[in-house]
Structure 1
Amino acid sequence: MLPTVTTELKRDAGAMPYGHINEVLTRLKQHGEGLFRMDFHVDKGNTKVPLPGIRMVVRSDDADYPIKIADDGAFKLPLLPLPEAKTADLATNVPKGQLALRGTPELTTQPEQLDLATVRRIMRVARTLREELLPFYLRWLFPRMQGVRICSDTPTWELEWRENGQLMGLPLPAANEREPTTKKGDPSRPCTLLTGQENWPETARLLPPAATKLSIKF
């Protein structure tokens, strides 16, 4: 039998107060109408320790919540009751200044589910969340949204709807947009953009090419 190994985890004084992160997660759950989520990753390019060696928990005065980090650096954070979240912090085994984390708001809508009605709903809810429901000190975590970015391997996006019994189709032009997941220095896949201001019916739905991914333009 191998000996038990224990690793001391210390609260990261340099990290954002967990109560702030928890408040954003709470507002998204309560008022985001299921349209948004927060994706969290270890920023491997700016982290100075190997990913497999990182141990992390959310530590409150009541409990420790272990965080499982995937091979690509992705992880999920727990949603805590607001009183408990006020006492919580991230605790890790990584020396201060050597661990970089990032959280990104993402859409839950799949490309084949997207139509203009959904785009307009996304824009409306995002505006309400940021301008009315999030306190000013948290708005930088949910920047002002400018549209739904659509990226794919080939630029053959099209909107389709019925008008007076006739099936209508409209190709979408490529936009000067860069896919957020593109590595620095690499060319981006082709992208287009829908803002909800387009003069087409709400029933106009996206016909996405293969491997299409949606993202938020901030």
Structure 2
Amino acid sequence: MRFLIPCLLLAACAAHAQTEVLPPVKTDLKRDKSVLPYARINELLTKLSKHGEGLFRMDFKVDAEKTKLSLPELRMVVRSDEADHPIRVEGDGRFDLPLLPEAEAKTADFATNAPKGQMAVRGTIELTIPPEQLTMAKVRQIMRVARTLREELLPWYLRWLFPRIEAVRVCSATPTWELEWRESGQLLGLPLPQAPGERDPEAKPGEKGRPCTLLTGQENWPDAARLLPPANSKLSVKL
């Protein structure tokens, strides 16, 4: 998901002289209604929080290569008719968005000190589960909840922000994934194949990236089968 965010944020300032205190000076923020309305982002975050069973989160990151200001210079808020909600941008460009009451979100917009049209933000759907806690039961839960969210709970105008999930992807530097479970008192193990042509979502353009395997939940393995991930494995969703 990519969208551009509007311009102009000057913080209020107050100067203290020896004999008087000057009043704060504010510069009004100009709202750009061509930007994705914050109410829609807020609605998606609310649905994920309420119906996502704690499985999903949205990660937001400033695309530094497409943003004219450097990250230390960048200032951003969500402004509604009721309040300003400052956004803290981390050193790698990541940031969190506030979850607002529905009524307040209807009047909210982004505001920033970047020139109009010169800031880009990426939003990605991420899983909250660490790789070592992934089981086939959890894979099937992820697929079920994702399907219910997209097909039944999200209105049509939000579905492009939550694309259809096809599988849980596991990427690792070494392709030695294995499932393990007990059956009739015996401990069984099953190596997982590398998915041909599956691209590591964290690989930069031109990089080969790590090998990956896929789990769709349709596999004929028991719910109790648990992933034994190689070191530094990363879970993601294949869209």
TM-score bracket for this pair, using the shorter chain length: over 0.9
**Structure 1-normalised TM-score?**
0.95
1:179, distance to aligned residue in structure 2 (A): 1.4
1:11, distance to aligned residue in structure 2 (A): 2.9
Query: What is the CA–CA distance in structure 2 between the aligned matches of 1:109 and 1:27, rounded to whole Å?
Result: 18
- SS of match in other structure, 2:132: helix
Contact 1:11 1:59 in 2 (8 A): no
1:195 aligned residue (216, 224, 234): 216
Residue 36 of structure 2 corresponds to residue 16 of structure 1: yes
2:233 aligned residue (206, 212, 216): 212
Residue 181 of structure 2 corresponds to residue 161 of structure 1: yes
Contact 1:10 1:93 in 2 (8 A): no
Residue 143 of structure 2 corresponds to residue 123 of structure 1: yes
Q: Which amino acid aligns with 1:206?
A: L
Change (3 A) 1:6 1:47: farther
Aligned residues: 217
Partner of 2:72: 52
Residue 106 of structure 2 corresponds to residue 86 of structure 1: yes
Q: Percent identity at matched positions?
A: 69
Residue 184 of structure 2 corresponds to residue 138 of structure 1: no
1:7, distance to aligned residue in structure 2 (A): 8.0
Higher-Rg member (1/2):
2
**Structure 2-normalised TM-score?**
0.87
1:181 aligned residue (193, 202, 206): 202
- SS of match in other structure, 1:128: helix
**Gaps in structure 1 of 5+ consecutive residues:** none
Please report the RMSD computed on the Cα atoms of aligned residues, expressed in angstroms: 1.7
**Gaps in structure 2 of 5+ consecutive residues:** 1-13, 16-23
Query: What is the CA–CA distance in structure 2 between the aligned matches of 1:193 and 1:7, rounded to whole Å?
Result: 52
Contact 1:54 1:94 in 2 (8 A): yes
1:103 aligned residue (107, 116, 123): 123
1:213, distance to aligned residue in structure 2 (A): 0.4
- SS of match in other structure, 1:144: coil
Q: Any runs of at least 4 consecutive aligned residues in structure 1 with deviations exceeding 2 A, and if so which?
A: 3-15
Moved more, 60-69 or 182-191: 182-191
